Structure 1
Amino acid sequence: SLRWDQGFDMQFGGLDLGTDYTFTAQYLYSRVREGFLWTNLAQTDLPAAQPTGVAPDGRPIYADLDALRINNLTQLGNFDGGSSHTISLSLAKRWENGFDAEFSYARQNIEDTTEGTSSRGISNWRGIVAVDRNNPSARTSPFQIEDAFKLSIGYEKAFFGDYKTRFDLFGQAYSGTPYTYTFDVSNTNSLFGRAGQGEGPFDNSPLYIPSPGVDPSVVYSSGFDTQAFFDFVAREGIETGKIHEVNSKSSRWIRQWDLRIQQELPGIPGMDKIFGDNKLKLVLDVDNLGNLLNSKWGNFYNGPGNNQQPNVQADLVTRADVAANGIDGATALTGDAARIACSTQDACVYRFNDFTDRASSSLSPAQSVYRIRIGIRYDF
């Protein structure tokens, strides 16, 4: 990591903005070495689960272990992919008239391969958001906050004798949480394989985004709203003709202002003999000041749960079946059938059946409120 502090005076043309500014720049780099990686060897190594199939977009189709009644063989290994770059800049100034201010900006670029947020190995494997869950690669971390701005403005003055009054206003704005558009799967239609022993699939397989018009990898059932889907793709600026990049979208920005007022008061009589100089301090905190002023301000939004936004229900069908029986008449490949039937990338196509335009950010009522606290502090 690197840190640089520099003091300077600031003038713009003939305008003197004061002296003794402090500028601080920091850069922090870290690299993952031997991070935790979970693999289901029952899908990759057992003869009964071979060979793997190939989806229309090239990703592997593993065995449905639950359908084959094969137990999971979860292996804990290591990986070295992933890094973190964090840059922060701050500018601070204190004036003789009692004012002080500080502005800061931070930017993160964090890549990781797995998060390991569960206490169970099989759940950590199931929870990997990747094109190939048994061979994941580094991608944007779901915990990355790409941009963050902070501003603090303070003023201090003794209005009542020697007892100081201080006002502090804190503001912050930061980008939302990353998330991925994914397939909406089920126990009977996991698309790319399933764990064994009743462990259901998560909605964390990145969605294939077809090209508008004719895409060789996708057909649309009569009930699929193609117009609404591509309107959504255009509105969100999603690249087409490829698998959606993991954690490449972000939920809404968060903005909040907080206020603190502190008033010094006389100390406790007689305690100066024990502690020397001592004072009481009345403290008033208003968290989320904007929401106190206007209920439409200071709202907090959550991104999609588990950083996944399942938008499309689809199944796999063979090209031959579509040619013989039509799109709606083709039989969905459920259970372990897709792995066997989709032996090559050209053997099958996705059939998009249903699209849901879900909101990428949801209001958090518990956090979108103001809070007022009043307390007494004793300094000695």
Structure 2
Amino acid sequence: MAILDKFQNSISFLYKLFDIDEKKEISIIEEAEEKIQLPDEYLERFTLYPIQNKDFLKNRDQELKSLELAYENWKIVNSPLLVVNDPGEGGTSLLHASTYIYPTAKILETNQAIDSYKKLIGLITKALQIEEEFKSLKDLEKHISTLEDKNIIILENIERLFIRRVRGFDLLEDFLLFLHATKTKIYWIVSVNKYSFYYLNRVKYFSSHFPSIIHLNPILNEQLKEEILSRNNGYNMVFLKPNKISKKIEKQLKKESKEERQIHLEKIFFKKLFNFSKGNISKAILFSRNSAYSVKGKTVFVKPTEIKVLDDLSLDDLFILEAIFQHRSLSIKELNIVLRNSDRQSRLSIEKLLERQLIRPTTTINKKVEYRINLMYLDILKELLKERLNRNFR
């Protein structure tokens, strides 16, 4: 009875909030129009950040076992490991949490472009705590061969080592040679995003350098639901009717009691979340955050967010988006190099894509602004690249 009273009080408040006459037979919240500003305390629950500790990592037991096995294999055959993942799938969290397997591992986070041999050598020598300076990877390789201790290095986002232009792959190729030359002394764990993996395989047979490859699996639907409910812990969730709904479901909702409608609307919400996220944890979290309609006290009203249809992007727009996919993120300067655009052309194109929220800005540790794909449009844009640019990737 206490649960029923709590639910009825929430419904009563909902009617008052949106001026709905309780005497009328109106299903929950379908008449509401304008979304209300959400409190920071609630939004903070949906912040995306990488997990640093195995104890807090969820739903990746199989991948952790694969990492353990790969490490044991390296001790025998010295094979470097490649981890392939989409943005938002939790690759960074997995690699950071996996350091319980090798506590001395050094993590090289290449969130910014590594556009020179000097930068790459500096990152590696710093990770290995080598104070001596080297002019080439070959010189560094000779020094590493003299080391007594073996090391583990996790290199994230290897796609930041190339730029799509003439001779823009030299640094990446020389690093791969360096990786092979040092693999008896260093266990290399490298990550790459799925689209870069597809692209590099087509142009450079990239996967042939890694006998051991782990592809992250999608998170199961029930685990996604558990994650979203846990982030709403302490709030009473009231599910609202989607903007778009079939006539059949509309009729069913009208026949149901308020309690039955809530159960039905909750199922609709999570079905939409599952279809959108496709097992990507970050996409599920973003979908849920964007679906929060309003918060009043400890009640949150949830209405499935609608993703815009993208049917009017030009070929130039798609080429820019593909370039960002290939490199994970690009600055205006890098975009000029890749597409041979003028600075003005690139800025105008970026502004247009920002306005449509298809990309988002991010700032590197050096305060340089780069642009990434908005996760909310990740799969939609991939499908457009398949259909209109004939990109045959999985």
Higher helix share: 2
TM over 0.5: no
- TM bracket, shorter-chain basis: under 0.3
Which TM-score applies when normalising by structure 2?
0.27
Which TM-score applies when normalising by structure 1?
0.28
